[in-house]
Structure 1
Amino acid sequence: MSRENAIEKIKEFERFGSRLGLERMSVLMERLGNPQKDLKYIHVAGTNGKGSVCRYLYEGLQGNGYKVGLFTSPFLQVFNERIEFDHQLISDEDLERCTGLVLEQVEEMMAKGLDSPTEFEVITAVAFVYFHLKKADFVILEVGLGGRGDSTNVIEKPLASVITSISYDHMDRLGNTLAEIASEKAGIIKEGVPVIMNVDRREAAKVLAKEAYEKNCVLHDVSKIKYAITEKSIEGYSLDTNIYGTDYAEVQISMAGKHQMQNVLTALVTLELLRKDSIIKVERSRLYAGLKKARQMGRFEVMKENPYVIIDGAHNEDGAAALKKTAEELLPDQKILFVTGMLGDKDTEKILDHFCQIADDFVVTEPDNSRKYPAVQLAEDLEKRGKHCVVLADSAEACRYALAHRENYGAVIFAGSLYLIGEIRGLLKDKL
């Protein structure tokens, strides 16, 4: 089986949709010998920020000599990005091998008339098999959707349950209120496992606190930890803080935006708790080097300077708000050309409320996805708000146009859909 064939076979499971619930996953893992039971996890859920928190945890542990697996979603450019170990994406050969092992059991399940796993469940199983084969010391496991019924929640007892934020997204499956969404995220909380949360919405935080209490978990609220920003620029930030009596001075990160302070604090609290419990050993200089090395593709990622060309995966209201704040902070008084394309199932009105505070000139395009929001409709929405729009539905054409006109601006920002950002990132790599 080639890499392409493995990915195609996995994609065939798209037809089963996205169905939350652990029954299918439990059966599949049992048939595979439950490789997930031999691994140590930090389980990370949340609406926004979880990808960055995972990256800080991954690099912090790697920096201290541990062999660490990282499972995240979605990917931006290549499928292999979903599964990473020891600073390497899963190789094509390992992807083929592990996919073959998983699909063999899936076929037997279906032959017996059992429910087929979903696409994401198959991918999660491939990751578990791979990390088990690699004998990972730790696995940073990012929830795909929600928490309670997400396929990653088949694990029994992580070292820590981390919840980064709660806001409105995927409401068709997670609920229409923050309390309902929080209840789904709280599903990753396990009996007696420390809970680290960084949730500023009181309605959601109360749900998490109640679940932690009922499961006899010690709850650590990162939002209560004070810190001071000592340096900030588009290249990154530096902060001082004290976590449960341990001073962390001049912690430098390479991801921009004040929201990244919350993300790195969440990771630091998690690592400090593991250190205090003697689960990990931490050498300060190596931890700092790891945190500074952490970079998340598509998170206010500077692709080019003079003028800046930036891509950002802001695809919901909170992500758009964070992008607006970062642009205001790091690109003050700059004339910005904003290139955007969105999915139709997002709250485009609220996202545009923030985008329209960043720029007056827009290039409107479409991600290559069946759920895309028509560029013509998006342009109408923007023009009603008094914005100037150039409509180029083809993302490659939109990218070419933006680059051809970038000398007229202080920065060009691409944002609106992760699918679009993945396409644009590949195009920019070729053109810049």
Structure 2
Amino acid sequence: MNHETAINKIKTFERFGSRLGLERMRILMELLGNPQKDLNVIHVAGTNGKGSVCRYLYEALSANDYKVGLYTSPFLEVFNERIEYNGALISDEELEQCTDHVLQKVQLMLEQGMDSPTEFEIVTAVAFVYFKKLQADYVVLEVGLGGIGDSTNIVENPLACVITSISYDHMDRLGDTIEKIAAEKAGIIKQGVPVIMNVTRREAAKVIARKAYETNAVLVDATKIKYKVFEQSMEGYTLDTRIFGTEYTDVQIRMIGEHQLSNVMTALITLELLRKQQKIKVERSRLYAGLKRAIQIGRFEVMEKNPYIILDGAHNEDGAKALAETVKSFLSDKKILMVIGMLEDKDYNKILDQFTQVTDCFVVTEPNNPRKLKTEILYKLLTERGQNCTVIEDPAEAYQYAESIKEQYEVVLYAGSLYLVGQIRRILRDDGRKRIESSTVL
């Protein structure tokens, strides 16, 4: 099985949809020998911020010479991004081997007339097999959707459960109230396992606190632990804090946006709690180096300067609000062009309410996804709001158009969908390589 075949075989399971529930996963993991039971897992759920918190945890532990696995979704450019180990994406060869191993067990399930696992369940199983094979010291595990019925919730005894935020997203699957969504996310909480939550909505925080109480789990509210920012710029932040009596001074991070301050605090609190419980040992300077190294691609990622070319995968109301606030903090005096594309199952009206605070100049396009929102809908909604709007359906052509007029702006910002951001990121990187090659030839 070659690399492309491995991915294509996994993709054939798309037809089974994204069905929540652990029954299929339990059977599959049993057939695989339950590799997840031999892993030290930090389990991270939340509507927004979970990817960044995972990245901070992963880099901080890796910097302390631990062998660390990271499982996240979705990917932006290549499938292998979903599974990382020791600073590198899973290799094509390892992906082939682990996929082949998992699919052999899936075939046994099908032969016995059992329900087929979903695509996400198979990828999650591949990650567990890979991390067990390499004997990872720790695994940072990001929930795919919700919590209680997500395939990652097969982990029964994690070191810590982290819930980064609760807001409206995937309401068709997780519920139409904040309380219902919070209950889904709180489903990762396990008996006696410490919970770190960074949840600002009181009604959601109450649901999580109740679940922690019912499971006799220590609960730490990250929003209650203070920090002080000493420097901030487009290069990042420097902050001080005190966590459980331990002073952290001159902590530097490179991810931009006020929400990243609460994300790094959530990660730091988790690490300090595990250190106090003697579950990890970390050396201060290495911890700092790891946090400073952490970058989450596609999240207010500055690809070029003068003019700024920025990618942000903001695809729900809270993500769009965080983007608008970040622009206000750092780029409020700049002339900005936004290139946006969205999915039709998102609350695009509320997202546009935030985006139109950023600028009044838009190019609308369509992400390469079957659930894409048609440009005519976006155009209508933006022009009704009095915005200047150009329609270019193909994202590659939208990029070329933005490039042709970028000198008229100080910032070109791509946002609205991770699928769009991933496609633009590939194009930008290809363009950059071509420019380097042409300058070398000259």
TM-score normalised to the size of structure 1?
1.00
Tell me how far apart the structure 2 counterparts of residues 197 and 166 of structure 1 sit (CA, whole Å).
10
What residue in structure 1 maps to residue 191 of structure 2? 191
Tell me how far apart the structure 1 counterparts of residues 326 and 229 of structure 2 sit (CA, whole Å).
14
2:346 alignment partner, SS class: coil
2:108 alignment partner, SS class: helix
What residue in structure 2 maps to residue 340 of structure 1? 340
2:42 alignment partner, SS class: strand
What does 1:396-407 correspond to in 2, within 5 Å?
Answer: 396-407=396-407
- Structure 1: 4+ residue segments shifted above 2 A: none
Give 1:418 deviation, angstroms: 0.6
What residue in structure 1 maps to residue 435 of structure 2? none
Tell me how far apart the structure 2 counterparts of residues 402 and 265 of structure 1 sit (CA, whole Å).
36
What residue in structure 2 maps to residue 217 of structure 1? 217
Tell me how far apart the structure 1 counterparts of residues 54 and 221 of structure 2 sit (CA, whole Å).
18
What does 1:216-235 correspond to in 2, within 5 Å?
Answer: 216-235=216-235
Tell me how far apart the structure 2 counterparts of residues 350 and 94 of structure 1 sit (CA, whole Å).
42
Gaps of 5+ in 2: 433-442
What residue in structure 2 maps to residue 317 of structure 1? 317
Tell me how far apart the structure 2 counterparts of residues 253 and 405 of structure 1 sit (CA, whole Å).
32
Tell me how far apart the structure 1 counterparts of residues 318 and 305 of structure 2 sit (CA, whole Å).
26
Tell me how far apart the structure 1 counterparts of residues 231 and 405 of structure 2 sit (CA, whole Å).
32
1:378 alignment partner, SS class: helix
Tell me how far apart the structure 2 counterparts of residues 231 and 310 of structure 1 sit (CA, whole Å).
21
Tell me how far apart the structure 2 counterparts of residues 250 and 414 of structure 1 sit (CA, whole Å).
32
What residue in structure 1 maps to residue 159 of structure 2? 159
Tell me how far apart the structure 2 counterparts of residues 329 and 111 of structure 1 sit (CA, whole Å).
58
Give 1:108 deviation, angstroms: 0.9
Which AA in structure 1 matches 2:344?
G
Which AA in structure 2 matches 1:293?
R
Which AA in structure 2 matches 1:114?
M
Tell me how far apart the structure 2 counterparts of residues 283 and 189 of structure 1 sit (CA, whole Å).
29
What residue in structure 1 maps to residue 409 of structure 2? 409
Which AA in structure 1 matches 2:53?
V
Which AA in structure 1 matches 2:43?
H
What residue in structure 2 maps to residue 207 of structure 1? 207
What residue in structure 2 maps to residue 72 of structure 1? 72
Give 1:6 deviation, angstroms: 0.4
- Once the two structures are overlaid, the 10-residue window that deviates more, 339-348 or 422-431, is 422-431
Give 1:190 deviation, angstroms: 0.1
Which AA in structure 1 matches 2:55?
R
Asked if residue 61 in structure 1 is aligned to residue 61 in structure 2, the reply is: yes
Asked if residue 258 in structure 1 is aligned to residue 266 in structure 2, the reply is: no
What does 1:99-118 correspond to in 2, within 5 Å?
Answer: 99-118=99-118
What residue in structure 2 maps to residue 377 of structure 1? 377
Give 1:296 deviation, angstroms: 0.4
Tell me how far apart the structure 2 counterparts of residues 248 and 379 of structure 1 sit (CA, whole Å).
48
1:162 alignment partner, SS class: strand
1:405 alignment partner, SS class: helix
Give 1:216 deviation, angstroms: 0.1
What residue in structure 2 maps to residue 83 of structure 1? 83
Identity %: 67
Tell me how far apart the structure 2 counterparts of residues 283 and 115 of structure 1 sit (CA, whole Å).
47
Which AA in structure 2 matches 1:122?
I
Give 1:430 deviation, angstroms: 1.7
Give 1:279 deviation, angstroms: 1.1
What residue in structure 1 maps to residue 419 of structure 2? 419
Asked if residue 97 in structure 1 is aligned to residue 70 in structure 2, the reply is: no
What residue in structure 2 maps to residue 329 of structure 1? 329
What residue in structure 1 maps to residue 440 of structure 2? none
Task: Kindly provide the CA deviation profile for residues 14-38 of structure 1, in whole angstroms up to 9, marking residues without a partner as x.
Answer: 0000100000000000001111110
What residue in structure 2 maps to residue 357 of structure 1? 357
What residue in structure 2 maps to residue 129 of structure 1? 129
Which AA in structure 2 matches 1:408?
Q
Tell me how far apart the structure 2 counterparts of residues 225 and 250 of structure 1 sit (CA, whole Å).
17
Which AA in structure 1 matches 2:59?
E
TM-score normalised to the size of structure 2?
0.97
Task: Kindly provide the CA deviation profile for residues 389-412 of structure 1, in whole angstroms up to 9, marking residues without a partner as x.
Answer: 110000000001111111111100
2:425 alignment partner, SS class: helix
Task: Kindly provide the CA deviation profile for residues 184-219 of structure 1, in whole angstroms up to 9, marking residues without a partner as x.
Answer: 000000000000000000010000000000000010
Which AA in structure 1 matches 2:19?
R
1:421 alignment partner, SS class: helix
Gaps of 5+ in 1: none
1:25 alignment partner, SS class: helix
Tell me how far apart the structure 2 counterparts of residues 429 and 20 of structure 1 sit (CA, whole Å).
36
What residue in structure 1 maps to residue 18 of structure 2? 18
Which AA in structure 2 matches 1:22?
L
Tell me how far apart the structure 2 counterparts of residues 175 and 131 of structure 1 sit (CA, whole Å).
33
Which AA in structure 1 matches 2:312?
D
What residue in structure 1 maps to residue 367 of structure 2? 367
Tell me how far apart the structure 1 counterparts of residues 160 and 36 of structure 2 sit (CA, whole Å).
16
Asked if residue 248 in structure 1 is aligned to residue 248 in structure 2, the reply is: yes
What residue in structure 1 maps to residue 277 of structure 2? 277
Tell me how far apart the structure 2 counterparts of residues 430 and 37 of structure 1 sit (CA, whole Å).
41
Task: Kindly provide the CA deviation profile for residues 199-243 of structure 1, in whole angstroms up to 9, marking residues without a partner as x.
Answer: 000010000000000000010000001111111111111111111
Give 1:347 deviation, angstroms: 0.3
Task: Kindly provide the CA deviation profile for residues 112-159 of structure 1, in whole angstroms up to 9, marking residues without a partner as x.
Answer: 100000000000000000000010000000000000000000011000
Which AA in structure 1 matches 2:41?
Y
2:353 alignment partner, SS class: helix
Which AA in structure 2 matches 1:111?
E
Tell me how far apart the structure 1 counterparts of residues 351 and 363 of structure 2 sit (CA, whole Å).
16
What residue in structure 1 maps to residue 45 of structure 2? 45
2:413 alignment partner, SS class: strand
What residue in structure 2 maps to residue 142 of structure 1? 142
Give 1:431 deviation, angstroms: 2.0
Give 1:377 deviation, angstroms: 1.2
**Matched length:** 432
Tell me how far apart the structure 2 counterparts of residues 402 and 157 of structure 1 sit (CA, whole Å).
49
1:166 alignment partner, SS class: coil
Tell me how far apart the structure 1 counterparts of residues 348 and 95 of structure 2 sit (CA, whole Å).
36
Which AA in structure 1 matches 2:42?
I
Tell me how far apart the structure 1 counterparts of residues 235 and 116 of structure 2 sit (CA, whole Å).
46
Give 1:102 deviation, angstroms: 0.3
What residue in structure 1 maps to residue 168 of structure 2? 168
Which AA in structure 2 matches 1:198?
N
Give 1:9 deviation, angstroms: 0.3
